[in-house]
Amino acid sequence: MNIDVLRIVSLLVLAIVFFVSARVIADLSFKVYTNLPRLSVDNIQKVNNAFVNGEVLSATAIKLTTPNQTVRLQDPRAYVFDEYFRRNNSPLRNTGDIFVANCLKYTMPRDCITIVAIARAETDLCKYGGSDSYFNCWGFGGGGIHRMRFTSWEQSIDRVSRSLGWSYGSRYILNPRLMATTFCGSEPGCTGWGERVLFFMAEIDRLGIELGVGSLFTLR
């Protein structure tokens, strides 16, 4: 076979391998909320770098403009949380981006799971006792007249994230048993609180694996 023909065939094979690899990398790196267009190599690299480095761009979502449409690419953690809320019919639907943004803002462990798991343990993701009308899924302030009222999910998630990240710190966030008496209290209803939170943390992590995102615990 002519050497020029061999060279052309080799280049075509390399081009095909490069194209397939780029698409695989893109699929593993983010969730596309519209039909996936052909992304440039520069755009793929931008998404990979942003999520690998844990950057928060537009509340953990990156918008890429292509010749045909604008694509919203969501942080995998936020995607898992939103699916968890959807499956549990929670008022917290579509707030996953807010959880991740505040988790990173207050330097919590990068899986960002604990604050969601506490909301599940405290109020079944804001489905219990009118907690959604308070925007308070974590029992902040105590019960009855002492329970804190917030005006939005943004405000409450920011407040709880700040408390967990700055007042408790990573050691307590990773092992909620250590903060059971201070966060929940010492009354009988708080018995086993830390174990319940850990159970829901594992449940959320398993969902990430089921959805193809992988274990979020590996981000710690």
**Crossing angle, helix 76-87 and helix 96-105, to 10 degrees?**
130
Specify which residues 74 forms β-bridges with. 31, 61
- Interval 116-128: pLDDT, tens: 999 999 999 999 9
pLDDT for position 34: 34
> Could you tell me the end-to-end alpha-carbon distance of the chain, in angstroms, rounded to an integer?
54
Least confident span in 42-51, 105-114, 169-178: 42-51
Residue with tokens 């549990």: 88
- Interval 126-138: pLDDT, tens: 999 889 999 999 9
| Domains in the chain with CATH codes | 3-74 (no CATH), 78-219 (1.10.530)
When pLDDT is averaged across residues 198-214 and rounded to a whole number, the result is 97
- pLDDT band (50, 70, 90) for residue 59: very low
**Crossing angle, helix 114-123 and helix 193-210, to 10 degrees?**
120
- pLDDT band (50, 70, 90) for residue 11: low
Looking at the predicted structure, is the pLDDT value of residue 69 above 80? no
Looking at the predicted structure, is the pLDDT value of residue 23 above 80? no
Looking at the predicted structure, is the pLDDT value of residue 63 above 50? yes
Query: What whole-number percentage of the chain has pLDDT above 90?
Result: 58
Least confident span in 18-27, 58-67, 97-106, 149-158: 18-27
Q: How far apart are CA 86 and CA 78, in angstroms?
A: 12
- pLDDT band (50, 70, 90) for residue 74: confident
pLDDT for position 189: 84
**Crossing angle, helix 114-123 and helix 96-105, to 10 degrees?**
120
Q: What is the pTM of this model?
A: 0.71
Looking at the predicted structure, is the pLDDT value of residue 105 above 70? yes
